[in-house]
Amino acid sequence: MGLPVSRSHPAMSQASLRALYPEHLAVLQARAAEALRRGGQEHLLIPSGTLHYQAFDDRDYPYAVNPQFKAWLPLTQAPGSWLVITPGQRPKLIFLQPHDYWHVVPSDPTGYWVEHFDIEVIRNADDAARLLPGVFRCAILGEPQSALGAYVPNNPEPVLQYLDYHRAFKTGYEIEMMRQANRIGVRAHRAAERAFRAGSSEFGIHLAYCQAAGQDANDLPYGNIIALNEHAAVLHYTARDRLPPKPVRSFLIDAGASFHGYASDITRTYATHDDAFAAMIRAVDAAQLQLCGMVRAGTDYAAIHLEAHRLLAGVLHDFGVLKVSAEEAVASGVSAAFFPHGIGHGIGLQVHDVAGFAASDAGGTIAKPDGHPYLRLTRTLAAGMAVTIEPGIYFIDMLLDALKAKGLGEAVDWDRVEAFKPYGGIRIEDDVVCTEGEPINLTREAFAQA
């Protein structure tokens, strides 16, 4: 389970990280010991990952560190390194620091975490093999490309199932890492809104965001969604036009930031003028805050998703888009044409964190509610879990045409739909931590402090 987390915290500092890290490491060591016991192994080996070359080329893809590796220590740019975890012993880091004049060589390990590890520096990736325990009875977690001789990732299911399930419960250290990722993301969101108000293109807004975050496309936890007008109706829009449309009516931005391997995932929607669409944004924002308030220990996350459909259908009814009640819109499936995705997902080391459907730490699956195929989390919430809450309303031709084809067109005022279609859609998203009491909204907290 996650450790208790503070409701407020001063600016992130080496001192605060140093204070929180030992307990985080103790939790990971306890989890690793139990995972190994279940898998019948003695050692946990975690390669950091390697560079992958593109097919028929001599260029590599952007490096992405193994999430199992960065859970233990804040190293995100150390390809070719290894962690060795043996219950009852200090964890060992085998750190690749090659002799190289073509690329930047990783700096010597420093910081609050190094005193907790035995660190061996190697100059050649193959040298790691002589420092690893015998491959027999090792659980090796990683990609096939990380293989080193006989040390081939085997990813034993009992080990992964246990570790992934419990990764949902964040330690106090992890919450602080995510809090800082939200602060960086909010700072960049503020810059993106200023760029939108100044008349920038989607591409220009994207550049303003990256500049303010101090992160480029390879540093960000996912590709920025920067959508003006109708483009907001494309859920994962990443084309980024170089010129702004005329006129500019609306702006949807779904963009996060990284902090030492932890992610934030934040979405906001804006209108150029204080018109009916701006009023609808405010209504969705109010509904989103209600849903964030449901992030409580013991709450079925799928129930939040179903309540989102009811609240959003109510917004559509209030704005004259739906002729039927919210309850009827949900029961008939009409609401899904306007809110076609899930209410959110787990978040932490990965934007869509693992084990969202896990029934237990020994496996099994909790099914999605019928008719809701895109929900990414079906677990019951508990203290320490971190999730996103991201309700949305969209005007998508394909889905609206399908609604008519199903004979449900009478439920919709199509003149109102036509009035809102040029704005594309609305989505509001925050990162929220479940506690034993009131949830902690890391995103709203960051906006209040920005």
Digit-coded pLDDT (tens) for 28-72: 999 999 999 999 999 999 999 998 889 999 898 999 999 999 999
SS3 29: helix
**Cβ atoms < 10 Å from Cβ of 242:** 9
265-288 pLDDT, tens digit each: 999 999 999 999 999 999 999 999
Top CATH class, 172-449? alpha beta
pLDDT level of residue 101 (50, 70, 90 thresholds): confident
Q: In this predicted structure, what is the pLDDT of residue 1? A: 44
Q: What is the mean pLDDT of residues 217-240?
A: 97
- Check whether 9 has a pLDDT greater than 70: no
Distance CA 83, CA 72 (A): 9
Looking at 6-75, list the stretches that DSSP marks H as alpha helix, in order from N- to C-terminal side. Answer: 14-39, 67-70
Q: In this predicted structure, what is the pLDDT of residue 10? A: 42
Task: Name 221's Cβ contacts closer than 8 Å, sequence gap at least 6.
Answer: 181, 256, 257, 258, 263, 264, 265, 350, 351
Q: What is the mean pLDDT of residues 380-405?
A: 98
Q: In this predicted structure, what is the pLDDT of residue 3? A: 43
* 55-86 burial code (b ≥16 CB/10 A, e <16): eeeeeeeeeebbbbbbbbbbbbebbbbbbbbb
- Check whether 353 has a pLDDT greater than 80: yes
171-190 pLDDT, tens digit each: 999 999 999 999 999 999 99
Q: What is the mean pLDDT of residues 429-435?
A: 98
- Check whether 432 has a pLDDT greater than 70: yes
Assigned fold of 14-166: Creatine Amidinohydrolase; Chain A, domain 1 (3.40.350)
Beta bridge mates, 225: 254
- Check whether 397 has a pLDDT greater than 90: yes
| Distances from the Cα of 169 to the Cα of 27, 62, 214, 218, 262, angstroms | 10, 29, 29, 27, 14
- Check whether 243 has a pLDDT greater than 60: yes
**Cβ atoms < 10 Å from Cβ of 289:** 14
Looking at 89-141, list the stretches that DSSP marks H as alpha helix, in order from N- to C-terminal side. Answer: none
Q: In this predicted structure, what is the pLDDT of residue 16? A: 87
SS3 annotation, 188-199: HHHHHHHHHHCC
**Cβ atoms < 10 Å from Cβ of 256:** 27
- Tell me if 139 sits within 8 A of 44, measured CB to CB: yes
- Check whether 5 has a pLDDT greater than 70: no
Distance CA 184, CA 326 (A): 37
136-167 pLDDT, tens digit each: 999 999 999 999 999 999 999 999 999 999 99
Q: In this predicted structure, what is the pLDDT of residue 2? A: 45
pLDDT level of residue 13 (50, 70, 90 thresholds): low
Q: In this predicted structure, what is the pLDDT of residue 103? A: 87
| Distances from the Cα of 444 to the Cα of 228, 232, 268, 432, 450, angstroms | 23, 22, 11, 9, 10
Instruction: Report the alpha-carbon angle 296-297-302, nearest 5.
Output: 70
The reply to whether the predicted model has a pTM over 0.85 is: yes
Q: In this predicted structure, what is the pLDDT of residue 11? A: 47
Q: Which residue has the tokens 């003006």?
A: 228
Beta bridge mates, 262: 259
* Ranges of each domain in the chain: 14-166, 172-449
- Check whether 7 has a pLDDT greater than 80: no
Same fold: 14-166 with 172-449:
no
User: Phi and psi dihedrals of 146, rounded to 5?
Assistant: -85, 0
Beta bridge mates, 346: 387
* pLDDT above 90 as % of the chain: 93
Which is nearest to 79 in space by CA: 115, 37, 49? 49
Which is nearest to 180 in space by CA: 23, 11, 431? 11
Distance CA 304, CA 64 (A): 32
Distance CA 172, CA 17 (A): 10
